[in-house]
Amino acid sequence: MRYALVLALALAGCQQEAHSQQATDGPLSVESPLADGAGALERLDGQIATSRRTAITRAVEAASPAVVSVNVIAVRNVVQRANPMLEWFYGQRLPGRTIQQRIQGLGSGFIISPDGYIVTNDHVVSNGGVAVESTEITIAFPDGTQMQAELVGTDPETDIALLKVEPDASLPYLAFEEQEDAVVGEWAIALGNPFGLFEAAEPTVTVGVVSAVGRDFPAQQGRIFRDMIQTDAAINRGNSGGPLVNALGRVIGVNTVIYSQTGGSDGIGFSVPAWRVRQVVAELRETGSVDRSFYTGLSIRPVSARLAQQLGLSEAEGLVVTSIESDSPAEQAGLLPRDVIVTIDGEAVASNEAVRDRLVDRRAGDTIRLGVVRRGRAINVPLRLAEVQ
């Protein structure tokens, strides 16, 4: 209170000095935010309200109606063993009892077309790879509406799934960013349903920036995580499948993985980039699956330390060609047994898994560029990926 009083007195002194100066030196106007009372306060409120509406709030306002909750209930049959004491009493194994077990999953998704196509993660709808008798997928919209969804198709490698609902009217939807890559440092807004906190409500919003692009890390459970977007926008369980949007409200990625030592968000989340999602969704929409099969006629194996010595290599790196089928794309490309493939499209490869990762976006008909070491000399060999006959 003493500090407030001193401040008030100082202001009073300033006002007295101003009035005195006005009396002797001529007119002097002293503006005050409260000079005209309620009118000034209204103008001040208006200025603050205007400043609160940023690019982020506008992006959230535009994107939120198209973000949904994905509720999955699967039923599987489980054989329950008979009471071991009864088996001991009868001296033989008794038949078990089949019971139905319900598995529930919850995640997020977003609408990508007015007729009801919805993108989410494969791991949200795949029941952890467990074989089930039936699966029921319910979509909860922000306005409280719920609809049953059909599973159009999934791509486990990229962890993308496509769902479809049948709405009575056009739905709000999100557009993908047309640029190939997100921009490091730009706003990243994650929307979704963390921890399943809502079933029919506005999605939760967290904001950060694009921390990095092109992040690769080891495959997990058969999924390939390449060219991922890293963000510090908080992504938690239940956010899976939700969109990561930029300040324009356009989708730059699908929230998929978090790095966490606690099970919650540690400020490092990863999203599948929009350009890859567009490619996968187009194939799922057309055929219900992603066909990555192709034919080269090439057999390879990793170069071991002993094999590297035999081939005269300074290091055990790359994959050695062990055989080539007659009249195959590999033979037509001029590859030979004992050639060592060290790069694919400029990226190093040293294992079959690395080859699989490098070719995740390639399809039959594409041509890849192999970096090859042949008798100590480095050459480049273009190789066409042919359709499987």
Judged by DSSP in three states, 367 sits in strand
**Which of 64, 69, 122, 123 is an active site residue?**
123
**Which of 240, 271, 339, 357 is an active site residue?**
240
**Which of 69, 122, 126, 159 is an active site residue?**
159
CA dihedral 328, 333, 337, 342 (to 10 degrees): -120
- Return d(Cα 271, Cα 289) in angstroms, integer: 21
Give how far the C-alpha of residue 43 lies from the chain's centroid of Cα atoms, to the nearest Å: 43
Tokens 């890293």 label which residue? 230
- Return d(Cα 285, Cα 277) in angstroms, integer: 12
Q: Which of 173, 215, 206 is nearest to 187 (CA)?
A: 206
- Return d(Cα 277, Cα 284) in angstroms, integer: 10
Enumerate residues 6+ apart whose C-beta is below 8 A from 180.
275
CA distances from 188 to 23, 54, 185, 248, 339 (A): 58, 14, 9, 10, 45
Q: Which residues of 124-135 are buried (b: 16+ CB within 10 A; e: fewer)?
A: bbbbeeeebeeb
CB burial class (10 A; 0-12, 13-18, 19+) of residue 204?
Answer: buried
Given a contact cutoff of 8 angstroms between Cβ atoms, the answer to whether 26 and 20 are in contact is no
Strands 97-111 and 340-344: unpaired
- Return d(Cα 72, Cα 121) in angstroms, integer: 12
Number of helices followed by number of strands (H, E) in the chain: 9, 18
Count of CA atoms in the C-beta half-sphere (13 A) of 280:
27
- Return d(Cα 45, Cα 189) in angstroms, integer: 27
Whether 159 is catalytic is: yes
Whether 323 is catalytic is: no
Judged by DSSP in three states, 244 sits in strand
Whether 211 is catalytic is: no
Known catalytic residues? 123, 159, 240
